Amino acid sequence: MTVQLLGPAEIRDLAELLDVTPTKKLGQNFVIDANTVRRIVRVAEVEPGDVVLEVGPGLGSLTLGLLEADASVVAVEIDGRLAAQLPITVEQLAPEAVERLTVVHQDALTVDTLPADPVRLVANLPYNVSVPVLLHLLQRIPTLESGVVMVQAEVGQRLAAGPGSKVYGSPSVKAAWYGSWRTAGQVSRQVFWPVPNVDSILVAFQRHEHPGGTEQGEHRQGDALSEEALRRRLFAIVDAAFGQRRKMLRQSLSGVFGDSARASAALEAVGLPPTARGEELTMEQFLALARHTPGSTTP
Ligand code: SAM
């Protein structure tokens, strides 16, 4: 099915109709270019019949592209005026697809359950909350298998970074707990209205079969910690490790392990020198530390 997607004129008309002045606070930069929309849908490998979660549909640019690909869309929008208008826009431009759209007027950071079980996340995220939204949804919506999101370029590079990269940090390790990530192409500032003052990038993820990655991350019978407790401990260790980026882990992790002697012992037990720094460790090495509880000899 082909749908007339929103261009600059349609976006301005809709904004005028709704008396919407895009706000920075809600990261409202709307896509005005059909090629960009179709590119995102293509990179996300959306299949007919897929249930797609879109966060921040705004005026509907990407929503119409997802519907054009014959997906069903659950769209979570915080702005009431935009949430109310979206079904009307779809009714006008793609009437046969209106049944496949469900709009949820809610802050994505508070989403716990959804009216359908999405398999893909495809979104042009509000940039100021993109990482918390991603981590929240990956935690709360276990049916999400993969996704493509547009984020600020630095954030996308950070999400996809590995140890040794300058931008490797706590979001990189937390994201890697859930899945594998890659950047999937830059996006010009000119495809937005209003034009943002930062660069944008697409980032794609594929969720691991088991959190933490296969085999090593798989929750094992007899593990002292439940999967959720393990995640919490991992995230606490990662926050501590990168909170004091320049410090050696035996110092930065002393709070989490009790004191620096215990932190050193834990590091040695998992085969790491106490002089190591957070930026050198893979997610798997952080996970080994999280699994290590005082008294155990191997992770
Ligand atoms: N998808 C549209 C597009 O591509 O043109 C709009 C993208 S715009 C970058 C971000 C959208 O997210 C806005 O519509 C904004 O109102 C919405 N938004 C901001 N914070 C949100 C939140 N916490 N939960 C849900 N939606 C949010």
- What are the tens digits of pLDDT across the range 154-209? 999 999 999 999 999 999 999 999 999 999 999 999 999 999 999 999 999 999 99
Q: Evaluate: CB of 225 within 6 angstroms of ligand 1.
A: no
Q: Evaluate: CB of 126 within 6 angstroms of ligand 1.
A: yes
Please give the average per-residue pLDDT across 119-145, as a whole number: 98
Q: How far is CA 110 from its chain centroid?
A: 14
**What pLDDT, in 10s, does the model give residues 223-258?**
667 899 999 999 999 999 999 878 999 999 999 999
- Judged against a pLDDT cut of 60, whether residue 145 lies above it is answered with yes
**C-alpha gyration radius of the chain:** 21
- Judged against a pLDDT cut of 60, whether residue 272 lies above it is answered with yes
- The whole-number pLDDT of residue 253 equals 96
133 CA closest ligand 1 atom index: 23
Q: Evaluate: CB of 86 within 6 angstroms of ligand 1.
A: no
**Token pair of 10 as six digits:** 């349609």
Residue type for 36, please?
A: T
- Judged against a pLDDT cut of 90, whether residue 292 lies above it is answered with no
Please give the average per-residue pLDDT across 260-273, as a whole number: 96
Q: Evaluate: CB of 20 within 6 angstroms of ligand 1.
A: no
Q: How confident is the model at residue 215 (pLDDT cuts 50, 70, 90)?
A: low
CA gap 190, 224 in Å, rounded: 52
- Domain 220-292 class, CATH top level: mainly alpha
* CA 260 to ligand 1 centroid distance, Å: 44
Q: What is the DSSP string of the chain?
A: -------HHHHHHHHHHHT----TTTT--EE--HHHHHHHHHHTT--TT-EEEEE--TTSHHHHHHHHTT-EEEEEES-HHHHHHHHHHHHHH-GGGGGGEEEEES-GGG----SS--SEEEEE--GGGHHHHHHHHHHH-TT--EEEEEEEHHHHHHHT--TTSTT--HHHHHHHHHEEEEEEEEE-GGGEESPPSS-EEEEEEEE-SSTTSSTTSS--TT-SS-HHHHHHHHHHHHHHHHHTTTS-HHHHTHHHHSSHHHHHHHHHHTT--TT--GGG--HHHHHHHHH--TT-S--
Q: Evaluate: CB of 124 within 6 angstroms of ligand 1.
A: yes
Residue 55 CA: distances (Å) to CA of 120, 124, 214, 295: 11, 7, 28, 44
Q: Evaluate: CB of 40 within 6 angstroms of ligand 1.
A: no
* CA 59 to ligand 1 centroid distance, Å: 9
Nearest CA to ligand 1 atom 3: 30
CATH of 8-207, one of 3.50.30.60, 3.40.50.1950, 3.40.50.150, 1.25.40.10: 3.40.50.150
CA gap 124, 128 in Å, rounded: 12
- The whole-number pLDDT of residue 299 equals 45
The answer to whether the CB of 57 falls within 8 A of the CB of 75 is yes
Q: Evaluate: CB of 26 within 6 angstroms of ligand 1.
A: yes
User: By percentage, how much of the chain surpasses pLDDT 70?
Assistant: 94
Please give the average per-residue pLDDT across 11-28, as a whole number: 96
* CA 13 to ligand 1 centroid distance, Å: 18
* CA 136 to ligand 1 centroid distance, Å: 16
- The whole-number pLDDT of residue 220 equals 62
Domain boundaries, the chain: 8-207, 220-292
User: By percentage, how much of the chain surpasses pLDDT 90?
Assistant: 90
For strands 120-124 and 146-152, give the pairing. Answer: parallel
